[in-house]
């Protein structure tokens, strides 16, 4: 019904599956032909409190009836409240700038780092070192910051100067020079195979960077907002980064991005801005999501469901040893390394046919980013369906 309209009028940048979902309830989606799907993707890590979340919907309705947007030229109560809540959850004093997406948050982080480099050193520092297999966004600058050459397509050139990437944490040291202002990385590489950096190696690097006054920027666009089990994955590592970025799960599906920093005096009035960023609607959503998830975590329910998911995932990997090498990831940011990455397309299709949505990631990894509120029944049902899908292709 919509398919021909989509193909004629929407620019075709996505490998789209022409299923049409009509409604959702927590981690279950219903297509218009009546078929249901277990959603192990949460719209790529976005629908953190589940589909059809009543509390979030009520907060949004309530806000929309009063004010959606007034601009950043005036005070915005939920923006101030969300920034305060973020600082409390980080556990150290930080200030937040609000954007509308992950890439935009990373752009803001890069601007903040460069402004820091201009302000604090006689020889200007502006270079940023990133890691191979990282993903930082789709704007010209964040594509360049992304440590995958395949993203640096020459048809979009020229790219901005000052970005280089190295293949592992050990190689960061040699890549730093007297013009390096920051190292930017994801603690858990979401697009790069749900790969987790070694804790001690990262702590050692963070310590070294601090001594050299080189900033640590942690991109938690995917790993943040309790997906790792903590508010930030860096809390699992005992890190307090100079700059952290958030987006995906922060407002449960309403577009938002956040640049969070302990360097509160670098940006001055006029240095950065966004028309939509931090408006009433998105920050009210963010407040509601953080209230829901903060309680959910403190009650121990999040840890229980993470544990339950882990047990189901490990059991699944054991029963599909011929295809699955190992389970990877942390919290509800998980993956299965396949023995043969070329199976991916078939697996995604078979899973879809059986009624379970999963994602692909780099390094031949099947990826799971379920809503953080997923139920035990949905986890069981999802893995049963995945089991059936694997049976059909093997």
Which residue, 194 or 292, is less far from ligand PLP as judged by CB?
194
Which residue, 244 or 373, is less far from ligand PLP as judged by CB?
244
Q: Which of residues 178-207 bind ligand PLP (CB under 6 A)?
A: 186, 190
Do 121 and 266 form a contact (C-beta atoms < 8 A)? no
Do 234 and 213 form a contact (C-beta atoms < 8 A)? no
Residues with Cβ within 8 Å of 290's Cβ and at least 6 positions away in sequence, in order, are: 82, 85, 86, 89, 225, 250
Site string for ligand PLP, 32-71 (x = CB under 6 A): ----------------------------------------
Decide: residue 318, CB within 10 A, 0-12 exposed, 13-18 middle, 19+ buried. Answer: exposed
- The window from 6-14, 23-31, 35-43, 131-139 that contacts ligand PLP (CB under 6 A) reads 131-139
Token pair 């035990």 in the structure block, residue: 376
Residue 247 as a binder of ligand PLP (CB under 6 A): the answer is yes
Residue 337 as a binder of ligand PLP (CB under 6 A): the answer is no
Residues 103, 128, 290, 347: which binds ligand PLP (CB under 6 A)?
103
Residue 101 as a binder of ligand PLP (CB under 6 A): the answer is yes
Q: How far is the CB of 45 from ligand PLP (least distance, A)?
A: 7
Do 275 and 71 form a contact (C-beta atoms < 8 A)? yes
Rounded Cα gap, residues 110 and 163, in angstroms: 11
Q: Angle, to 10 degrees, between the axis of helix 301-319 and the axis of helix 376-393?
A: 20
Which residue, 125 or 136, is less far from ligand PLP as judged by CB?
136
Q: How far is the CB of 193 from ligand PLP (least distance, A)?
A: 13
Rounded Cα gap, residues 200 and 113, in angstroms: 25
Q: Which of residues 207-226 bind ligand PLP (CB under 6 A)?
A: 219, 221-222
Residues 78, 102, 252, 331: which binds ligand PLP (CB under 6 A)?
102
Minimal CB distance to ligand PLP: which residue? 102
DSSP 300-334: THHHHHHHHHHHHHHHHHHHTTTTEEEEEEETTEE
Residue 135 as a binder of ligand PLP (CB under 6 A): the answer is yes
Q: Interface residues with ligand PLP (CB under 6 A)?
A: 101-103, 106, 135-137, 186, 190, 219, 221-222, 247-248
């Amino acid at each position: 019904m919509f398919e021909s309209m989509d193909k004629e009028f929407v620019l075709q940048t996505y490998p789209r599956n022409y299923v049409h979902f009509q409604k959702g309830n927590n981690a279950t989606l219903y297509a218009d032909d009546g078929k249901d799907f277990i959603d192990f993707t949460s719209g790529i890590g976005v629908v953190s409190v589940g589909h059809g979340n009543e509390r979030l919907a009520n907060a949004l309705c309530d806000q929309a009836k009063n004010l959606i947007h007034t601009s950043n030229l005036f005070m915005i109560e939920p923006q101030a409240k969300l920034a305060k809540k973020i600082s409390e959850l980080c556990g150290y004093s930080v200030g937040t700038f609000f954007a509308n997406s992950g890439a935009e948050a990373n752009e803001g982080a890069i601007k903040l780092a460069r402004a820091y480099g201009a302000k604090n050193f006689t020889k200007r520092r502006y270079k940023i070192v990133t890691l191979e297999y990282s993903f930082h966004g789709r704007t010209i600058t964040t594509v360049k910051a992304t440590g995958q050459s395949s993203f640096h397509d020459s048809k979009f050139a020229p790219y901005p100067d000052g970005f280089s990437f190295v293949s592992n944490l050990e190689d960061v040291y040699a890549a730093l020079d007297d013009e390096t202002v920051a190292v930017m990385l994801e603690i858990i590489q979401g697009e790069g195979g749900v790969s987790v950096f070694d804790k001690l190696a990262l702590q050692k690097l963070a310590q070294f960077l601090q001594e050299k006054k080189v900033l640590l920027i942690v991109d938690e666009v995917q790993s943040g907002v309790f997906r790792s089990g903590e508010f930030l994955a860096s809390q699992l590592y005992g890190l307090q980064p100079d700059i952290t970025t958030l987006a995906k799960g922060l407002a449960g599906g309403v577009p938002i991005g956040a640049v969070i920093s302990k360097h509160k005096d670098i940006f001055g009035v006029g240095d950065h801005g966004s028309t939509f960023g931090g408006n009433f609607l998105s920050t009210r959503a963010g407040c509601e999501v953080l209230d829901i998830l903060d309680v959910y975590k403190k009650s121990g329910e999040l840890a229980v469901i993470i544990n339950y998911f882990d047990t189901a995932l490990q059991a699944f990997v054991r029963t599909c040893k011929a295809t699955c090498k190992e389970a990877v990831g942390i919290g509800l940011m998980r993956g299965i390394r396949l023995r043969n990455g070329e199976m991916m397309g078939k697996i995604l299709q078979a899973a879809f046919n059986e009624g379970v949505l999963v994602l692909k990631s780099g390094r031949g990894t099947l990826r799971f980013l379920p809503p953080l509120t997923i139920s035990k029944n949905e986890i069981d049902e999802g893995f049963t369906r995945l089991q059936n899908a694997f049976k059909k292709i093997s």
